[in-house]
Amino acid sequence: MATPETTRDSLYIDGAWVPHAGGSIEVIDSTTEEVMGSVPEGTVEDVDRAVAAARAAFPAWSALPVEERTALLTKVAEALGARMDDLADLITHEVGMPRMLSQLVQVGLPLNSFASAAQVATDFTWEQTVGNSLIVREPIGVVGCITPWNYPLHQIAAKVAPALAAGCTVVVKPSEVAPLNAFVLAEIMDEVGVPAGVFNLVTGFGPVVGEAIAAHKDVDMVSFTGSTRAGKRVTEVAAGTVKRVALELGGKSANVILPDADLATAVPDGVGKCFLNSGQTCSALTRMLVPRENLAEAEELARTTAETFTPGDPFDGSTRLGPLVSAAQRDRVRMYIDKGIGEGARLLTGGSDTPDGLDRGFFVAPTVFSDVTRDMAIAREEIFGPVLVIIPYDTEDEAVEIANDTDYGLAGGVWSGDPEHAKAVARRLRTGQVEVNGGSFNPGAPFGGYKQSGNGREFGSFGLEEFLEVKAMQL
């Protein structure tokens, strides 16, 4: 599909499109490498205006009955559904996910976030009595939402929907790599009648706009999704005002395949969980742990499965692996592949060469390594590309030890022929989510990590609670 051209020269602040006379940021189509549009390069002054608008709107919005707030969220979900095809096309151009998956994931999940946040807020227990105290939950205030490029609209919705449901007002800074979809959401907010100042959009670079949001004295909370490095910086900047910080950061998740598992099912499933969105998924199961006696069989299954992930144009229905999001990301992933070879890992398939026939676009071949040891960089660092590492183990205790031997703790997987045994091992993993025998992603379950994968949780009632303060009235 030809690259569309979308130029956005205004920011959405205080219920209006505010012309921006400053610089602009080009947005690149990940498949064609062509410029597909531009967005304003926001400034500290833009952040100040947006925060002031959010602060002014907070008293009325937070006092609005919950049913009125949730009614607007439901309208946002319906409007997203009406624009699903256009949004799926747009995000596929921005990020490179195959078009069919973009519709299901990149648009379907945000739609669900707004609809489910409305339901969660409706069912939520806002007040309770404990002894002689009335415990009330109140919105925290103005929330800065700083989001990444890999699931751009999804990550915005995961923050904005529960924040608005809680009664907070927001200032959103999407990633400058894939920001165009955020403008569609701003249009929808305007169309459905979300009051002025409740939702504000400021695009720009992290060191300018992101840091201004994190440092701002009138921002009560920052919710950030991105790299662990950037999350640490957000925490440092936010510490000056002792505001609440919720972080959803990196991962290097282990998929533990136990000796009694069905390898023919577990291994292909694990490859798919690693390669989703071309591996650009924080919760991707990038470390496959297999019994040493089953290593050869697992290697062959992983290799043959990986080779079915044909890279190509994400608008082609036969494509299973789109491009990476940018030249910088492609080059970073290729660097890690070369590093793995240099460290002595055995390359089963793929590699750092450009896939055949794909000279344009930020493509990386689906890659699988084996004979990986836990000290190698490819086993310890988040690659964020279609690269799977297979690590053999000798005992179950060793498998758990290897799985937990990481700075991260976002996700994981366990496979066993005995579901109860699989759950017992899952309890031993120090991670926020664990798939048991391929259990599917649940957008209503809490999502977040242990250790350097962050703090706080998104989705469901847990996600709503992140944006609430707790007050005790002694009666």
What does the pLDDT read at residue 437? 98
CA dist., res. 341 & res. 144, Å (int): 41
Residue 22's pLDDT band, with cuts at 50, 70 and 90, is: confident
Tokens standing for 3? 């690259």
Number of domains in the chain: 2
CB 41 within 8 A of CB 205: yes
- Confidence band for 5, pLDDT divided at 50, 70 and 90: low
Specify whether 400 is located in the same domain as 462: no
Alpha-carbon gap, residue 97 to 312, rounded angstroms: 10
Residues facing residue 392 across a β-bridge:
290
Structure confidence at residue 4 (pLDDT): 62
Q: How confident is the model at residue 428 (pLDDT cuts 50, 70, 90)?
A: very high
C-beta atoms surrounding 207 within 10 Å:
10
Same domain, 393 and 469: no
Q: Are residues 259 and 223 in the same domain?
A: no
Cα 360 to Cα 349: distance, rounded to the nearest angstrom: 21
Q: What is the pLDDT of residue 3?
A: 62
Query: 396, 417 in Cβ contact below 8 A?
Result: no
Report yes or no on 66 lying in a domain.
yes
> What local confidence, expressed as pLDDT, does residue 290 receive?
98
Q: What is the CA radius of gyration of the chain?
A: 22
Q: Can you say how many angstroms the Cα of residue 108 is from the centroid of all Cα atoms in its chain?
A: 14
pLDDT at residue 250 tops 90:
yes
Mean of pLDDT values over 202-225: 98
Structure tokens at 2: 């030809």
Find all residues with CB under 8 Å of 157, minimum gap 6, and list them: 109, 110, 111, 113, 114, 185
Give yes or no for residue 222 having a pLDDT over 70.
yes
Reduced to 3 states (helix: H, G, I; strand: E, B; else coil), residue 194 is coil
Indicate the average pLDDT of the chain: 97
> At 160, which amino acid appears?
V
Residue range 288-302: mean pLDDT, rounded: 98
pLDDT tens for each residue of 401-418: 999 999 999 999 999 999
Residues 231 and 339 in one domain: no
Q: In angstroms, rounded to a whole number, what is the distance separating the alpha carbons of residues 108 and 380?
A: 32
1 part of a folded domain: no
Query: What's the confidence (pLDDT) of residue 197?
Result: 98
Per-residue pLDDT at 79: 98
Is residue 452 a contact partner of residue 431, using CB atoms and an 8 Å limit?
Answer: no
d(CA 141, CA 135): 18
Strand 454-455 relative to strand 435-436, pairing: unpaired
Q: Give the per-residue pLDDT at 6.
A: 85
pLDDT digits (tens, 9 = 90+) for 173-187: 999 999 999 999 999
- Tens of pLDDT, residue by residue over 379-391, are 999 999 999 999 9
For 114, the token pair is 């707004």
* 126 is a domain residue: yes
Phi-psi region of 349 (alpha: psi -120 to 50; beta: other; left: phi over 0): beta
Query: Which residues have a catalytic role annotated?
Result: 248, 282
The CATH number that applies at residue 54 is 3.40.605.10
Distances (CA, A) of 253 to 126, 345, 373, 413, 450: 35, 19, 15, 8, 11
Percent of the chain with pLDDT over 70: 99
pLDDT value at residue 21: 82
With 90 as the cut, is the pLDDT of residue 1 above it? Answer: no
Query: Do 213 and 334 fall into the same domain?
Result: no
Residues 115-172: pLDDT tens digits?
Answer: 999 999 999 999 999 999 999 999 999 999 999 999 999 999 999 999 999 999 999 9
pLDDT of residue 2 exceeding 80, the answer is no
| Whole-structure pTM value | 0.97
273: domain CATH number is 3.40.309.10
pLDDT at residue 353, as a whole number: 96
Contacts of 311 (CB under 8 A, 6+ apart): 319, 320, 321, 322, 323, 355, 358, 363, 364, 365, 366
**Which residues span the domain enclosing 244?**
6-249+453-474
